[in-house]
Amino acid sequence: MDQTYYDAVTKMEQMGVNEEYMQGWMGGYLKNPQREEQRLNDAYEAGYADGESKDSANFDKWLKS
């Protein structure tokens, strides 16, 4: 892992980002295969796409409500 990964995960935890988004982001960043189809949801898929592109700009859009 690199420091960017740890910094992003720490930032998401401190901000209170949705857990599904976080799981997707981490999986995408690490290039893990996506979940099976029946477990996919909007938050996970958005996180996965952002993680793949190493984008941290959308964290605030996925805060827990």
Output the pLDDT for position 65: 75
**Secondary structure (DSSP) of 18-58:** -HHHHHHHHHHHTTPPPPPGGG--HHHHHHHHHHHTT--TT
Domain-embedded: residue 35: yes
pTM: 0.94
Q: Which domain holds residue 49?
A: 3-55
Q: Average the pLDDT over 41-54 and give the result.
A: 98
28: in domain: yes
60 within some domain: no
Split into its structural domains, the chain has a count of 1
pLDDT score at 1: 73
